[in-house]
A = this chain, B = another copy of it.
Amino acid sequence: MDDSHLKLNNQICFPIYSVSRLMTKAYKPFLEKMGLTYPQYLVLMVLWEDDELSVTKIAERLMLNTNTLSPLLKRMEKMNLINRIRSGKDERSVNIQLTEKGKKLKNEARPIPEKLLSELLTENIELSDILQLKEMLNEWIKILSIKTKNIELTQPL
């Protein structure tokens, strides 16, 4: 019986899963200084690009469910990073706005990507590798986000 595919070293998902956790851990010392977790940092990055977004819009950008974001945003409101404002036009919708504190954190965050990058760049990893990896992963995201959405339509569970 050929079990080679079931070996951890032959899996593709396991390295992704591991690298994801390791990267988050690599961010930790930098984010800790700002009192942020990685998902909170992601929310701020979205808002630094476009302030005043609905919960659903942020969820789309981060590919997270609103039921993950709702409590996360509440914690960020308590930390005085954002304001949650119910929309006047549509009473169901909640708009997220950066506070002054949230806006100012951008200055502290600016050097982080460079620092992370420099940790990665070694004799074995070059910038071109990183860019290539990013392109590949973005292609995977396209495929997987379609597949995982349509699973209940294309096949019975």
Contact = CB atoms under 8 A, between A and B. Distances in A.
A113 B157 contact: no
Interface residues of A, number: 69
Interface stretch (A21-29, A73-81, A84-92, A96-104): A21-29
Contact of A139 (B45, B124, B145): B124
A30 to B, nearest CB: 9
Given A18-B63, A143-B120, A143-B125, A109 B32 contact: no
Contact of A130 (B12, B49, B125, B157): B12
A22 B110 contact: no
Contacts of A133: 12, 133, 136-137
